[in-house]
């Protein structure tokens, strides 16, 4: 019986069926360097490796300049190769700024910009907003959006234009409009305005960690105003699962009150099947959860009360 000996000590990847090659590439999906090399190796590996390479996009957050450059480079890639935009399924949006004035100064000197006229171009978020607007408009298959502070272990205020410019708010709202999302997650955002969800078609998992919503009184409740805004107020985003882990308990109460207010809520509770919320304590009066049970109906099949509201935040970093 003859024994065949391979002349090469290396395994021939190209002899495998493409289905197995796809599985191997998926196992390597967290190694961007290897995926980049695979995409340049041969045409057979290019489509799948490119799809996995761009599926989750997270900019370099070491400095303001690093973030802006990453976003600008992605914008240029999408401009030159529009098909890349369809590969991006998960996208991270950073809010706020980093205290990296030395990096900004070096970049100003290197690029010969005028500090008086163009300093904002080198600081996040101002320098990145134009590119973010262009990118977010061109992501047809986006299904996961994560919004968080650029600086780790910090908070941003949705109402501060210096941290969340109006153009960026509008870009986020337009990205959510008329779309179906697998997951939308927010971390450490104060005074967030859930009105941005009103024109979203469907969110399977809405998650908010250490995020407070602004004190909303809603539109004017006079009869004329209600009639004028009735068509828009009837628009609500259907959500299947809500996770709201934020301290203290009164912030969770405010969120529940918002969700159950038929005049101002942008979230439709009829479709919800899972609710995970910070424990509301045992204050006087009726159980605050009884109200939300009435709005959710029989569709609610799972309820979790969280005591450690920091759980789940590690996934963002």
Higher-scoring residue by pLDDT: 226, 18: 18
Give the best-scoring range by mean pLDDT among 18-32, 88-102, 153-167, 219-233: 153-167
**Mean per-residue pLDDT, 198-210:** 94
Domain extent listing, the chain: 17-56, 58-150+163-176, 178-219+236-317
Residue bearing the bigger pLDDT, 48 or 211:
211
- Closest listed residue to residue 211, CA positions, set 236, 180, 242: 242
At 219 the pLDDT is 44
Residue 226 has pLDDT above 50, yes or no: no
Residue 225: predicted pLDDT: 43
**Is residue 173 over pLDDT 70?**
yes
Give the model confidence (pLDDT) of 279-293 as tens digits. 666 555 566 677 777
The pLDDT confidence band at residue 14, using thresholds 50, 70 and 90, is low
- pLDDT tens readout for residues 298-311: 788 888 887 765 65
Does the pLDDT at position 141 exceed 90? yes
Q: What would the mean pLDDT of 250-270 be, rounded to a whole number?
A: 85
């Amino acid at each position: 019986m003859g024994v065949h000996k391979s002349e090469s000590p290396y395994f021939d990847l190209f002899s495998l069926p493409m289905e197995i090659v796809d599985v191997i590439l998926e196992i390597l999906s967290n190694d961007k360097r290897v995926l980049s090399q695979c995409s340049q190796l041969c045409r057979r590996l290019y489509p799948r490796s490119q799809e996995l390479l761009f599926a989750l996009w997270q900019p370099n957050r070491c400095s303001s300049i690093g973030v802006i450059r990453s976003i600008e480079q992605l914008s240029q890639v999408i401009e030159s190769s529009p098909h890349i935009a369809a590969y991006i399924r998960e996208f991270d949006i950073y809010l706020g700024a980093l205290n990296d004035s030395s990096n900004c100064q070096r970049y100003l000197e290197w690029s010969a910009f005028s500090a008086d006229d163009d300093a904002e171009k080198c600081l996040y978020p101002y320098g990145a907003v134009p590119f973010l607007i262009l990118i977010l408009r061109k992501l047809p298959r986006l299904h996961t959006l994560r919004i968080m502070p650029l600086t780790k272990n910090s908070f941003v205020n949705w109402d501060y234009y210096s941290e969340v410019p109006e153009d960026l708010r509008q870009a986020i709202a337009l990205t959510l409009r008329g779309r179906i999302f697998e997951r939308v997650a927010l971390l450490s955002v104060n005074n967030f305005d859930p009105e941005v969800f009103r024109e979203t078609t469907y969110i399977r998992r809405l998650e908010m960690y250490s995020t407070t919503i602004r004190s909303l009184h809603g539109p004017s409740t006079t009869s004329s105003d209600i009639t004028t805004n009735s068509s828009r107020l009837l628009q609500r985003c259907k959500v299947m699962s809500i996770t709201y882990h934020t301290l203290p308990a009164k912030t969770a109460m405010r969120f529940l009150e918002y969700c159950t207010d038929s005049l101002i809520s942008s979230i439709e509770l009829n479709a919800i099947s899972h609710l995970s919320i910070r424990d509301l304590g045992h204050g006087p009066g009726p159980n605050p959860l009884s109200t939300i049970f009435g709005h959710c109906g029989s569709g609610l099949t799972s309820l979790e009360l969280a005591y450690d509201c920091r759980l789940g935040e590690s996934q963002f970093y």
